[in-house]
Structure 1
Amino acid sequence: MNGSRISRLNAATRAKMRPTSISNQSRYDQEKANPLNNDDICYLTATEALELYRKRELSPVELVEAQIRRAEMVEPTINAFTDTYFDEALQQAKAAEERYMRSDPRDLRPLDGIPLAVKDAQRVAGKRTTYGSLLFADNVDEHSDPIIDRLVAAGAIIHARTTTPEFCLSGTCETRMWGKTRNPFNTGYGPGGSSGGSAASLAAGTSVLATGTDIGGSIRIPASCCGVVGYKPPKGRNPDGPPANFDPYNHCGPLARSVADAALVQNIVSGPHPLDHNSLRERVRLADAVQPVNGLRVAWSMNLGYVQIATEVRRNTLAALDIFRELGCIVEEVDLRWSSDCDRAATAWYNAMHFGRQALWHAETRAALMTDYALAAAQSARTLAIDDIARSWETQHAMYQSFGPMMESHDIFICPTAAIPAPSADHNPLDQNFKIEGKKADPEYGWSLTHQFNMLFNSPVMSLPSGRAETAVPTGIQVVGRTFDDPTVFRAALAYEHAVGGWFGPEARPKC
């Protein structure tokens, strides 16, 4: 993997940039002055694109045009988008281009002209949000969620919405509303879920930034499966919309192709919001520059004490730990003494909260329109006993009694993000014959190591790529911090990414 591509992509500064239509030939093709090809443009990070914008070596119009061309090529296969707003996005890109031509760069907004894909479970004012369900096919929102408002106010251009399983209920990404989303690295596999379309879009080069929500790993699982960066902040760090903001397990955050891009987004969206009672008053400013990590104390576990791990995930996790050792970190294996009680406790909570109750409410009147896995969630919610919730709290408390003291003597904790590289594109989250390395595992919770950290909801967690499987599908690791310690997670992640060299150089991109 290779590092920053800015130095190799720079070209002579244009004296003038003129808006064009997507139907017109690209200015790069016309002028032959810029070595950027369409794929190079599509795989720029936000920080790289912003630098090129400021130098007037790339136009927002050119970037949006390139991503539309890329989407027209790959979307029939990948299917990461639901609704698209390409014409609107081009108009906004032209306006951004004019601002870069006329404004002092210091007066421009932090995301001016950057294309953003928004998960189809987050509200955008005046746009449809379907939650991947036929039940919401005609649902148009009057208000945007706080994170979306802040990104748009910062200059981001929403050009598309991204796929999610029905009501965000699964780690897979197939619905009756939108069909099946596939992994850009190998279309025989899925992108993970529930923010599967966001991760697949980033990996396919059809967005620069994307949003996600995470109640059980829904940002981190697809980030791992698609080889991108996904960040679950501490609860309340990023303001959210109702009712999810009242659920301590639930978070909203960024998916990106670099750690610096995730920091860029976090520095924009975090902080208190008058409409979210749970939003934290404290604002944390995250650095986007690499800092030394020698002496950083790293704890790790391969399986959290009980999860069956695929051989390729194990191999790539150990290789990632070696990188931290090479960076001068003190790396130590730990025993958390967790068990499958964690999964049962998490399931009880999901069944009790809006996550499961929504499926139950709709199943009582409109079951014919719902997916099998949504109906299964409704049935689980229907049979929930009230004592199951109290017992889930006991398990949650016991988990932190081992994790909290362990983190007193360590700066970060590392484990795989998922136990397998990615689920099959045809994976059935109800398949009771699902196996990992020949051993039966729960088809929904048995292959993720993420929901455990939704239970420990104040711990920040980032998923980073750790390598590839023989199938070409990526694998990932999680970097977990102490409660509310976002900066240390980003410091470790930036150093690791810099040592690896980045994720999407020309030789490392999917061949979709």
Structure 2
Amino acid sequence: MSTTATELIKAYASGESSPVEATQDALDAIKAKDGELNAYCLVDAESALRQAKASETRWREGGPLSPLDGVPTSIKDMFLTEGWPTLRGSKCIDPNLPWDVDSPVTARLRESGAVLLGKTTTPELAWKAVTDSPLTGITRNPVDPSKTTGGSSGGSAAAVAAGMGVLSVGTDGGGSVRIPASFCGIVGFKPTHGRIPLFPASPFGPLSHAGPMTLSVADTALMLDILSRPDHRDPAALPPYQGIYLDASERDVTGLRVAFSPDLGYVNVDPEVAAIVAEAVAVLEKLGLNVTRSDPGFTDPLDAFEVLWSTGAAQWLETFPAGSDVLVDPGLLGMWRKGLTHSAADYLEATAIRAALGILMGEFHSRFDVLVTPTVPIPAFEAGHDIPPGSALTGWPQWTPFTYPFNMTQQPAISIPVGVTGAGLPVGLQIVGPRHADDVVLAVARTLESALA
């Protein structure tokens, strides 16, 4: 595994390493690997080294801006970045716009002194759970480049997994941080909705979250401490957390009530994935957590999710220039057209289903502190396909049924790597907590991560 952010900052403090060295290492890795992996759509080496030199001076003088100061970091190309275009994987967005605004995520990272290397790939408008687009092509998995990274934050996952930067930040509207984290063998966290402020507001509305993508749970907590700082541009943002997530991730979790649902009561899970996740859950029980096999008790909310997702996509695409229909991803075009068929009543019905699901999960968490499931029921499949080749599936949400329900409920959910298949492909385990219990989710994840190390 590459050096983590928490290890890097200790090395910076002791003088064993420097931000310039770490940044050059990341740039060298990009040069060596990204021609094959295609994780970045923009790299600004000159700017990154300039930032790293400034950070090195701060560390030498004993005044780093934050614990992320000097850590090489990438940003998914869905977040506005001053001075860099945000094309969102689309040929329909003009790269020559002013690009003079930072999103809250970018602003917090700049303020923290993180070294921004560049921007990572996304499917067009982050619409699907694999990472390829008409603009940037196919992004490939560092574990096996013939396989998909998953998506939509696949560029970020590939960058972190391949050592092409230590940290990244992605978006998650239906699993888009957790799915590629699982497929690439890293940590991906979707915090409670509103914990990380967003601007501009996502057309996917209450489904959309931002989240850290890292090599360790400690790095995730460290990053969340920065990204969750307030920003007035998001009226749905939560009040600041009254604590430090990095410290909270070290809390004792002995005795916590864990519900283990291997299939949510309706999911077909690959036998290898199921066995690897079950072995990890057994470790949790040995660590003193009270594990009970229990399904939450809801049926698959796929139809309601797809109404919410397709109407959001259609609303966004209706703002695109005339003639865009011949330029967009064909699958996105299909979703655009599907979204236009839904009425306001359809949307309100889907919203009511989302609310009922949230109430059900609220009651479930009165009995259990966390829910544990596989992150994805299958390992990574062949790159360049929206669904596993040869399957009878018709759309990407059908192969990721463990993730999108918790976008609908807005709960914190993390994926951590817990093993590999016989073919060497990573498997992720998902830990879900009640809304606002981000600290509990991080603590359980860090405890299990440590035990499996």
For the pair 1:120 / 2:77, whether they are aligned, the reply is yes
> Which of 453, 460, 466 matches 2:418?
466
Is it true that 1:87 corresponds to 2:46 in the alignment? Answer: yes
Which whole-Å CA distance do the structure 2 matches of 1:245 and 1:153 have between them? 27
Question: Which of 111, 128, 142 in structure 2 is aligned with 1:153?
Answer: 111
AA at the equivalent of 2:407: N
Asked if 2 retains the 8 angstrom alpha-carbon contact of 1:171 and 1:194, the reply is: yes
Tell me what 1:305 maps to. Answer: 265
Deviation, structure 1 residue 144: 0.5
Residue 338 (1) aligns with residue 298 (2) = yes
The 5 A counterparts of 1:419-498 are: 419-429=377-387, 435=391, 440-448=392-400, 449-457=402-410, 459-498=411-450
- Does the CA contact (< 8 Å) of 1:230 and 1:254 recur in 2? yes
Question: Which string of whole-angstrom CA distances, capped at 9 and with x for unpartnered residues, describes residues 42-68 of structure 1?
Answer: x11111000000100101111111111
Secondary structure of the residue aligned to 1:134 is coil
Provide the C-alpha distance between the structure 2 equivalents of 1:247 and 1:461, rounded to a whole number of angstroms. Answer: 18
Is the Cα–Cα contact under 8 Å of residues 311 and 336 in structure 2 kept in the other structure?
A: no
Deviation of 1:246 after TM superposition, in Å, equals 8.2
| Number of the residue aligned with 2:19 | 60
Q: Is structure 2 residue 151 aligned with structure 1 residue 193?
A: yes
Deviation at 1:398, TM superposition (A): 3.4
Structure 1: distance between partners of 2:204 and 2:197: 11
Other structure's SS at 1:357 match: helix
- Separation of aligned partners in 2, 1:455 and 1:376: 22
1:270 to 213, 228, 244: 228
Partner Cα separation in structure 1 for residue 196 and residue 359 of structure 2: 26
Structure number with greater Rg is 1
* SS in structure 1 at match of 2:245: coil
Q: In the superposition, relative to structure 1, how do residues 387 and 222 fare at CA in structure 2: closer, same or farther (>3 Å)?
A: same
Q: Report 1:400-419 matches (<5 A).
A: 400-419=358-377
Deviation at 1:139, TM superposition (A): 4.9
Query: d(CA) in 2 for partners of 1:397 and 1:268?
Result: 30
Answering whether residue 125 of structure 2 is matched by residue 173 of structure 1, we say no
Contact 1:130–1:139 (CA under 8 A) maintained in structure 2: no
Please give the per-residue CA displacement for 1:290-323, whole angstroms capped at 9, x wherever unaligned.
3332211100211222222111211111011011
Q: How far did residue 280 of structure 1 move? A: 1.2
SS at match of 2:41: strand
Once residues 132 and 59 of structure 2 are traced to their aligned partners in structure 1, the CA distance between those partners, rounded to angstroms, is: 40
TM-score (norm 2): 0.95
Deviation at residue 401 of structure 1 after TM alignment: 4.2
- Letter matched to residue 408 of structure 2: M
Aligned identity (percent) is 34
**How many angstroms apart in 2 are the aligned matches of 1:128 and 1:210?**
18
Q: Is the 8 A contact 2:203 2:315 kept in 1?
A: no
| SS at structure 1 position matched to 2:92 | helix
Paired residue for 2:285?
Answer: 325
Matched-pair contact (CA < 8 Å) for 2:201–2:234: no
Query: Contact conserved, 1:307 with 1:447, CA < 8 A, in 2?
Result: no
What is the one-letter code of the residue matched to 1:174? Answer: D
Structure 1 residues 138, 403: closer, same or farther in 2, change over 3 A? same
Secondary structure at the aligned position of 2:384 is classed as coil
Deviation at residue 363 of structure 1 after TM alignment: 8.0
Return the offset for 1:338. 2.3
How many residue pairs get aligned? The number is 449
Task: Give the drift of 1:97.
Answer: 1.5
Q: How far is the alpha carbon of 1:220 from its aligned partner?
A: 0.8
Tell me the distance in 2 between the aligned counterparts of 1:236 and 1:253.
11
**Larger deviation, residues 309-318 vs 389-398:** 389-398
What amino acid is aligned across from residue 85 of structure 2 in structure 1? R
**Matched AA of 2:35:** P
Cα shift readout 1:357-414 (whole Å, capped 9, x = no counterpart): 2234438532121111111111111222333212213322332343222211111111
Give the CA RMSD over aligned residues: 1.8
Partner of 1:377: 335
**Aligned residue type for 1:291:** R
Distance 1:108 1:55 in 2: 16
Deviation at residue 189 of structure 1 after TM alignment = 0.7
Q: Provide the C-alpha distance between the structure 2 equivalents of 1:60 and 1:271, rounded to a whole number of angstroms.
A: 24
Pick which of 310-319 and 132-141 moved more: 132-141
Instruction: Tell me how far apart the structure 1 counterparts of residues 356 and 267 of structure 2 sit (CA, whole Å).
Output: 18
- TM-score when normalising by structure 1: 0.84
Aligned residue in 2 for 1:239? 197
In structure 1, C-alpha distance between the alignment counterparts of 2:353 and 2:238, rounded to whole Å: 26
